[in-house]
Amino acid sequence: MKKIIWEVQSLSLLPVLKYCKKCGRKNLFACSRQFRVNAQRRYLDIWLIYKCCACNTTWNATVYSRISPQAIKPQLLDGFYKNDNELVEKYAMDSQFLQENGVEVGLPQYSVIGDCFSLNETVQLEIKSKYSLSVKVSSVVRSKLLLSEKEYLQLIISGKIKSLPNQDLKKCKLKEGVTLVFDNELQMSRI
């Protein structure tokens, strides 16, 4: 069976929606890509800083609260001080982290890297993402293969597309990845 890998790459960090006191309404907040480390007595507070897209009011997403400096590896602490890009993305792409900080999290813009294929082929397709994304598998497949919602549903109903292990392909989210099988022979035998 032909094997194809797609990689879903985020083009932006996760958009954050929260109430801005200054604007008096809910607004989009953008990640500043900067941490703030505050040392108070024997404890550290570490935040990731966001800014309201309309008025620049800052909002701090709590990474660590009142943690002992000994509890953090020096290399990690250094990463927070240097605003290490990988470290910024680890938090800014983590919807659970953001939700635990009490904000609404939107979907990032993304592109799908990898070869297209014909629906006349039998293909095992692995879709991967570096970060857990709550985009729908159906959106990724439909946008890449240029399928209408009806065409995509037809593939599910006819058994031409399946996931390993079996998931609801109408609803399931990509998270860190999924493996799909486009089974051409099955469809041909039904026709």
| Positions in the binding site for Zn ion (CB under 5 A) | 20, 22-23, 52, 54-55, 57
Q: Give the nearest distance from C-beta 91 to Zn ion in angstroms.
A: 22
Q: Which is nearer to Zn ion, 10 or 27 (CB)?
A: 27
**Each residue of 67-81: b (16+ CB within 10 Å) or e?**
eeeeebeeeebebbe
| Chain-centre distance for alpha carbon 133 | 3
Cα separation, 7 vs 1, in Å, equals 19
Q: Give the nearest distance from C-beta 119 to Zn ion in angstroms.
A: 47
Q: Give the nearest distance from C-beta 27 to Zn ion in angstroms.
A: 5
Q: Give the nearest distance from C-beta 26 to Zn ion in angstroms.
A: 10
3-state SS of 166-189 is CCCCCCCEEEEEEEEEECHHHHHH
Q: Which is nearer to Zn ion, 23 or 39 (CB)?
A: 23
Q: Which is nearer to Zn ion, 55 or 188 (CB)?
A: 55
Q: Which is nearer to Zn ion, 51 or 90 (CB)?
A: 51
Cα separation, 190 vs 182, in Å, equals 14
